[in-house]
A and B are shown apart, each in its own frame.
Chain A
Amino acid sequence: MTILVPTYNRYPHLARLLRYAESARLPWLLRILDSSSEPLGSESLRQRLGRGDVEWLRYPSSLPPMQKLLEGLAGVETSYVVVWNDDDLLATRTLAEGVRFLEAHSDYSVVHGRSAAFRPRATPDGVRIEALGRYPHQTVTGPSAAARLRSHFTRYHAALNSSIHRAAWLRKNVEQCCAQGFGYRWAELALGALDVIQGNAHALPRLYLCKEVHAGGADAWIRFLAEGRADAGGPWQEPRASHDVFDWVTEPSFPGKYAAFQQMTAEALMAADGLPPEAARVIVKQAFWSHVAQDMTSKQRWSWGRRVPPWRWRALSHALRGGWDTMSLKSLLRPNSPHHRDFLPIYEAITKC
């Protein structure tokens, strides 16, 4: 497997990632796809970027993210690849298990695992985790590509971008996105759609990803963050959800990009399931709008301040359905947590700067 780390002007995050990778003794090559416009100030970071298991590739800062990813993928010679965002932290053991899973299951196109979202806070005593909670992940299986596509978009919780991919397929998919001129949002949807058309998506039952959430960023609407449910620290300043779906839908390019997305995804569906063109286009249309409808309605609830059940009731209901929410800082730090061993090095990388 090769690990691709796209980065842009976030050297402190990149330094944290490399520190973690070094301490976790990752056995894979890290290809840093760096299009930063800021100078690399830190000498220790420069040293880490020069290590033998790290390949530091520089790109012009004007290069679009998808194009950068495509160029990064061009040099990948391994069978598997994972795209690791510079502000995320992935669990080493789960990565290794994911590769073994894909080796053993040819009908799966991607694999990932359980995820947590966190927000760090710098204090005079160092960095501490201000809030942490479950980040959505999903398993997508089905007898046909159409069934998987429907399932993926109807229950769309999170992108599959951070999953372990088969390198050849991801390269082909990213190529298609670049050919259509997709920006990040369209590419995220298109890549997820192509992933599930090409095979099942599996979520391993162990910690895979810890994702940093930034105030006002795309994930600022996440419920536990918005409610101020923090395991440590004082009151959370509620981030205001933006009408970003509205902005997206009212962009001048929306109809054209949608048409390209529909065409591209329908063609993949036709090739996978042997469907006639019109049937494939209808399936893509329904699946896409199902996702947009969820996005629109859920974010409207946030932005209009509609009441949601208190988290304790949700935790109780979750418990009654068969499991305690193990994705909290307190539980992850407990040695008996099934995720403790994977989380501890991540926790140390975040807090011991």
Chain B
Amino acid sequence: MLTLCVPTKNRAAFVARLLRYYAAVPDAPALLIGDSSDPEPAGQVQEAVRRASVSGRLSVQYRACPGLSSCAALEALSRDVTTPYCAFLGDDDFLSPRTLARCVEFLETHPDYSAAHGQAVIFQVEGQGVHGPIGTITAYPQAVTEAPTAAARLREFFAQGPKTLLYSVHRAGVWRAMFSGVSALPGTNNSNVFKDEMIPVCVSLIHGKVAEVPGLSLIHQTHASYRFPHVYDWLTSPVWHPSYEAFRDRISQELQRQDRLSSDEAQGVVREVLWGHLVRLVASARRKEIGPGWQPRPVWQQRLRGIPVVRAVVRQVREAGQRLANPLSLPSLLDPSSRYGGDFKPVYDAVTSPSS
């Protein structure tokens, strides 16, 4: 029923970790790997795929995508999807099969929804490697919208602030529309905020509502080295204008088709939502620049926390507090009684222990 599309580039160790995880969990969905790696790491990815396929527990297909960016690889993979549902998965991320099954079940019975997802967390591995202790983990907001029209859904999405939608389970038809033509947009470069995220996400929203089902679906790894460009650099880069035009034209066309708007009305909606988005980004950047910034702890606190017993007590108290107050904190997720524990524990094992 479901295919996970996994673009990757020169990160064979992450792909191997991902395949080991899905080989270990029940009811793993089909995996479609789009590999843009250089020849040597591409060989390592193929070897990992071969090993995973040999076990017979996993359905994995490999597709070489040399020279393609992430969104171009996703466009190529979307043509190979044969299941009615699919989702994007980064090679360093995890989507829990149990919650994915709930998403599929939901979409089967709700034809006006184009996508569904569960809760999400974002984590960082200490040392930034493939394996290691999990340093930080926090909730990762994903968009939910139930507005009746495409224009209203776009407005609602952009008013919510930064939220992701790419990792939701989508209907395969919507998925293909999201990435259709993004790799060939004129005047844009290979890695581009509009192509990688904004066009696909907006097309998804235009096609239908987005729901959240119970359970933890996405466990997303972040890396200190990866960032979208700063908003100032984005707006002043030479590819900004052609990318913006491509976005405006594509989203306007989709809006005209879906909501039966005139060209001017559709462009007005695009302008309004993008304007709000830019204002929020620029205002946030400015707040960071003129804000007080990070302040060191007072000396007495530093000295007190230097005492090992005090440090241990503080940690215990903080973890107890998190268990009570935040179900998506690390202590809560590792608690056997957590409602998300069943989804999180196999991921935790895959990340923290190389042999799992």
Instruction: Find out whether the CB atom of B275 lies under 8 angstroms from the CB atom of A300.
Output: yes
CB contacts (< 8 Å) of B1 on chain A: these are none
Q: Give residues 255-297 of A contacting B (CB, 8 Å).
A: 255-256, 258-259, 285-286, 289-290, 292-294, 296-297
Kindly specify which of B173-181, B256-264, B283-291, B327-335 makes contact with the partner chain.
B283-291
For A38, the chain B residues whose CB sits under 8 A away are none
- The answer to whether B240 touches A255, judged by C-beta atoms less than 8 angstroms apart, is yes
Please report the C-alpha to C-alpha distance between residue A266 and residue B240 in the assembled complex, in whole angstroms.
23
Closest to A291 in B: B286
Among A20-28, A211-219, A244-252, A340-348, the stretch that binds chain B is A244-252
Q: Are A296's CB and B271's CB within 8 A?
A: no
Q: In the bound complex, do residue B275 and residue A289 qualify as a contact, i.e. CB atoms below 8 Å apart?
A: no
Q: Are the CB atoms of B241 and A254 closer together than 8 Å? A: yes
Complex: chain A residue closest to B284, CB-CB: A293
Minimum CB–CB distance from A86 to chain B (whole Å) comes to: 33
Q: A251-B241, A255-B240 are in contact. Are A289 and B271 (CB under 8 A)?
A: no
Bound together, the chains give a CA A243 to CA B232 distance in angstroms of: 19
Residues of A within 8 A of B271 (CB): 243, 246
Q: Tell me, in angstroms, the Cα distance from A31 to B303 when the chains sit together.
A: 72
Tell me the chain B residues, 260-315 only, with Cβ under 8 Å from chain A: 271, 274-276, 278-279, 282-283, 285-286, 289-290
CB pair A252–B241 under 8 Å, yes or no, is yes
Contact of B241 with A293 in the complex, beta carbons under 8 Å: no
Contact partner of A293 (CB less than 8 A), chosen from B237, B238, B244, B285, is B285
User: Counting CB contacts under 8 A, is B236 at the interface?
Assistant: yes
Determine if B317 is an interface residue (Cβ-Cβ < 8 Å).
Answer: no
Q: Which residues of A contact B185 (CB under 8 A)?
A: none
**Considering the chains assembled together, what is the distance between the CA atoms of A243 and B235 in angstroms?**
16
Residues on B with beta carbons closer than 8 Å to the beta carbon of A300: 275-276, 279
Across-interface contacts of B240 in A (CB, < 8 A): 254-255
A293 to B274, CA, bound (A): 15
| Interface pair A296/B279, CB less than 8 Å apart | yes
Report if A255-B282 is in contact (Cβ < 8 Å); known contacts: A286-B289, A300-B276: no
Which residues from 1 to 54 on chain A have a C-beta closer than 8 Å to any C-beta of chain B? none
Q: Which of B81-108 contact A (CB under 8 A)?
A: none
Q: Complex: how many Å from CA A293 to CA B279?
A: 7
Q: What is the chain B residue whose CB lies nearest that of A285?
A: B232
Q: What's the nearest-Cβ distance from chain A to residue B47, in Å?
A: 44
Number of contacts between A and B (CB, 8 Å)?
Answer: 51
* Cβ–Cβ contact A297 & B279, under 8 A: yes
| Chain A residues, CB < 8 A from B238 | 255-256
Contact B244 A290 (CB under 8 A): no
| Distance A249 CA – B271 CA, assembled complex (angstroms) | 12
A296/B236 contact (C-beta < 8 A), A243-B275, A252-B241, A255-B241 known: no
Closest to A255 in B: B236
A255 touches B237 (CB 8 A): yes
> A residues within 8 A CB of B285?
289, 293
Give the contacting residue for B283; candidates A154, A255, A285, A297; CB below 8 A.
Answer: A297
CB of A47 to closest CB in B, whole Å: 49
> Within A134-178, which residues are at the interface with B (CB < 8 Å)?
154
Over the window 211-252 of chain A, the binary record of Cβ atoms lying under 8 Å from chain B Cβ atoms (1 yes, 0 no) is: 000000000000000000000000000000001001001111
Interchain CB contact (< 8 A) of A254 among B235, B278, B279, B290: B235
Given A250-B241, A254-B235, A255-B237, A289 contacting B276 (CB threshold 8 A): no
Complex: chain A residue closest to B237, CB-CB = A255
C-alpha gap A251/B290 in the complex (Å): 28
Contacts of A255 in B (CB 8 A): 235-238, 240-241
Q: Which residues of B contact A154 (CB under 8 A)?
A: 290
B235:A249 contact, CB within 8 angstroms: yes
Residues on B with C-beta less than 8 A from A294 are: 286
In the complex, besides A243-B275, A259-B236, 14 extra interface pairs with C-beta distance below 8 angstroms are A243-B271, A246-B271, A246-B278, A249-B235, A250-B241, A254-B235, A255-B236, A255-B238, A258-B236, A286-B289, A289-B232, A293-B285, A296-B282, A300-B276
A contact set with B: CB distance below 8 Å: 154, 243, 246, 249-252, 254-256, 258-259, 285-286, 289-290, 292-294, 296-297, 300
Sample of 14 A–B contacts (CB below 8 Å)? A154-B290, A243-B271, A246-B278, A249-B235, A254-B236, A255-B241, A256-B238, A290-B286, A290-B290, A293-B285, A296-B278, A296-B279, A297-B279, A297-B283
Q: Which 7 A-B pairs have the closest CB atoms?
A: A293-B286, A293-B282, A258-B236, A252-B241, A255-B236, A296-B279, A246-B275
